[in-house]
Amino acid sequence: MNSHILHGSESLCKLLRYLAEQTLDHAGNSVKEYQIATEVFGRSANFDPHLDSTVRVQAGRLRLKLAEYYNSEGAQDPVVIELPKGSYALSFHLKSPISSHHESRLLDHPQAAQEVAQAPARQSLTTVISLAVMLAIALAVIAVLLVKDNRQNVRTANDIPAAYQVFWRTFVSAPQEPWVIFSNAAFVGRPETGMRYLNSNHDSSALILDHYTGVGEVLAVHELDRVFDLFKKNIRVKRGTLFSLDDAKNNDLIFVGSPAENLTLLEIPGTQQFVFQRITSGPRKGDLAIENLHPQADEPKLFMASPSNEALTEDYAVIGLIHGLDPARSVLILAGTTTMGTQAAVEYVCHKDSLEELLLRLSVSKTGEVKPFEAVLHVKVVRGVPVKTDLVALRTQTP
């Protein structure tokens, strides 16, 4: 923890000390993610690992830092500490340093010297035999691993929930990997002195900062990557300011973030029933809302999050599946009026239970096809985390 690699990271040092104490004091007992979240990172008692990936992210960072340490400052350490993947229990290994003491003692005696003189030939033969045996073992191990990996791939494909296979079929079956376009709004100002959205009427373009995005978008990309990994597929990720119309014409697209920040959405066809609008007058002037263009019974005209001058306790988000510029392509829009709503929208289509609810509301069978639709979600937010999401409006046809 005093190394240059870990010294500057208080959270990783705290995690390392905690895991070490747990492993040494409670050998054989696996530390739970909930336990780490509440005792190390101060999460509340209602912590849900499905909604908050802090522990997994920090464990991954610690794993990389340990490897970096033993490749540099800790190269000569007699003890190696590792954090195996899939576990929160540390493992400790003793290195076996090569000692020349025994060899120097032998060389003090004539008979030993003669044996040493004859050793190279014997050693060469022994080395050849050893290498041959090791090669044979290695080939056998590789063969076993390949068979095991193939079987595992088959099991994984068969174990993918039906809801995932139905909803994501278009995006995972296309020859090209889909683009995930996340929002990064244009700001002016500096983080240390205060930042605000760019006002094109009086702000200079030379002052624009376009390398910031919300925590909801970050966690959303992680969730999408997890789902596509189930299908052994990759996603291509690009920030909105670097996205081009050529990308839109030739690829399936997943937009993460509202048009207020993901400005590329303003340049291509978007949702037609539920659209994002800034309030232009009244006490909520300037706040972002979702306008319900054709309200049905008991539906409001506007879906609005908590006022911007109050703590965020509720948000609204849109899920929209539409045709792309090329009708053969699909565009999925996942966007909240705040970054928390965006996170909730992505998690809604990435978690099995909520995805099954959506398909049920869309009347899509296990072998059916998901047609274009638009939906609105109500999101309850607690301490900056979306904890409950409900589907409150749905349209199954778009003009």
pLDDT in tens, 6-15: 877 888 888 8
31: tokens are: 């530390």
Cα–Cα distance, 108 to 112 (Å, whole number): 7
Cα–Cα distance, 399 to 271 (Å, whole number): 10
**Sequence-separated (6 or more) residues with CB below 8 Å from residue 172:** 228, 231, 233
Q: Determine contact, residues 25/360, Cβ cutoff 8 Å.
A: no
Helix (H, G, I), strand (E, B) or coil at 394: strand
Cα–Cα distance, 223 to 239 (Å, whole number): 16
Sign of the dihedral through C-alpha 122, 123, 127, 130: positive
Q: Determine contact, residues 50/222, Cβ cutoff 8 Å.
A: no
pLDDT at 100: 44
Please give the CATH topology (third level) of the domain spanning 4-94. Answer: Arc Repressor Mutant, subunit A (1.10.10)
pLDDT at 125: 65
Ranges under pLDDT 50 in the chain: 98-110, 112-113, 116-117, 153-155, 398-399
Task: Return the H-helix or E-strand segment holding 274.
Answer: strand 274-278
263: tokens are: 């400005």
pTM: 0.59
pLDDT at 228: 94
**Sequence-separated (6 or more) residues with CB below 8 Å from residue 212:** 184, 185, 187, 195
In a 10 Å sphere around its CB, with 0-12 CB exposed, 13-18 middle and 19+ buried, how is residue 152 labelled? exposed
What separation, in Å, do the N-terminal and C-terminal C-alpha atoms of the chain show?
Answer: 60
**Which of the 8 DSSP states describes residue 82?**
E
Cα–Cα distance, 90 to 15 (Å, whole number): 11
pLDDT at 261: 65
Length of the chain: 399
**Which of the 8 DSSP states describes residue 3?**
S
pLDDT at 189: 73
Cα–Cα distance, 34 to 284 (Å, whole number): 39
Q: Determine contact, residues 370/270, Cβ cutoff 8 Å.
A: no
Cα–Cα distance, 238 to 252 (Å, whole number): 13
Sign of the dihedral through C-alpha 389, 394, 397, 398: negative
* Number of Cβ atoms within 10 Å of the Cβ of 316: 27
